[in-house]
Amino acid sequence: MLIFFYITLMVLFAYGILIEYYRRSWNKMPYFDLNMPRTQNKQAIVTVIIPARNEEKNIGKCLQSLLQQTYPKELMEIIVVNDHSTDQTEVVVKAFVQPYIRLINLAEHMNGKPINSYKKKALETAIAASAGEWIMTTDADCELPPDWVSCMMAMQQWQQAAFIAAPVRIADRGSLLSVFQSLDFISLQGITGAAVYKKIHSMCNGANLGYEKKAFQEVGGFKGIDHIASGDDMLLMHKISKKYPDRIFFLKSRKAIVGTEPMRDWKTFINQRIRWASKSTDYEDGSITQSLLLVYFLNLFLLITLVATIWDRKNLLFFFILVVVKTILEFRFVHTIARFFNQQRLMKYFFFLQPLHIFYTVVAGSFGKWGSYDWKGRKIK
């Protein structure tokens, strides 16, 4: 047990260095302003793509927020891809009688053949039918701030970007589950921004992305990764970053924060995180794999320490000390990101949710590698 104790301390020390690196990198990243100088004045045509499966309760709000964008409407088109919905998603979309809102039924492009990644197929189909030079993606349960498209395109013109990752905030609805999701996602977003800014990982979230259609086509789109159920965001980002390493950016602006709803129950939440973890073995970016392994093994060792208290009560003190140290290492970083998202009030729950976070990280990581999951009525391996 003494050897295990020292190994755990070394892993915790390495984790602390990584977290501090992320914190400093985030703080060094400048905020983006819409008045930044631009290298060109020509505004591009933008296609916003929304894959939607059984989203009748959400898609209306999403489209309504897109109708309020400050970007010129004549330079925008919105494509909703109906992914075999069994509810009224299609009816809700068709009720928006706007010339720049289009509906594509994915079933009409499938020839009845089952696939493993319907979302990639939805995006690929929409991009092939799009008129835009710049593709933006979001999810049907998201609401977009009025300057979302304007910010993205101003950033693209300022940096001549080929791919832009942008911030996503999970709404806190007051329940234990939504608080937990919000805090967990805050840390993920901070890591994403810091990693992209320092160009050490290819990280992003499909709820708030933008990329050149030309770049998408040049890297072959989803070819080579289309057999993987998840990864329509990070795996594509890695393909584009290999071709354009200096044209990948994170948009650090509160005006570009996309809001999304928390998962409605614990089962759906765990399945979502397993789905995200399932693509981890397909990363060609070794730095991501190393970081994920560090986080996984730290939490695994902590969980083993807790279980070991069954045989030796002294391990409970060891576990408590390790959790306190881990919390202190993480707190400054997460609090910094929480201020950006105006969710710093959630930090009062941070320490108390640590045991739950440890358990969920190990479960999601393990099942993402060796298990299967249900997602929107589909069983995925």
Q: Rounded to whole angstroms, what are the CA distances from 202 to 92, 175, 231, 268, 347? A: 35, 32, 11, 26, 27
pLDDT of residue 315: 80
Residues 203 and 196: their CA atoms lie apart, in Å, by 7
- Using the CB atoms, write b or e for 102-114: b if 16+ within 10 Å: bebebeeeeeeee
Cβ atoms of 109 and 125 closer than 8 Å? yes
Burial class (CB in 10 A: 0-12, 13-18, 19+), 305: buried
Architecture of domain 31-167+208-252: Alpha-Beta Complex (3.90)
The amino acid occupying position 117 is S
C-alpha radius of gyration, the chain, whole number: 21
Cβ atoms of 96 and 66 closer than 8 Å? no
Cβ atoms of 202 and 255 closer than 8 Å? no
The DSSP letter of residue 320 is: H
pLDDT of residue 281: 60
Is this model's pTM higher than 0.85 or not?
yes
Cβ atoms of 233 and 145 closer than 8 Å? no
Looking at the chain, the domain(s) classified CATH 3.90.550.10 span: 31-167+208-252
Chain Cα centroid distance, residue 336: 19
Q: Which residues of the chain have pLDDT under 50?
A: none
pLDDT of residue 349: 94
259-281 pLDDT, tens digit per residue, is 999 988 888 888 888 877 766 66
Sequence-ordered list of residues with C-beta below 8 angstroms from that of 51, at least 6 positions apart, any chain: 81, 83, 118, 119, 122, 123, 126, 137, 139, 140
Residues 228 and 236: their CA atoms lie apart, in Å, by 12
pLDDT of residue 284: 67
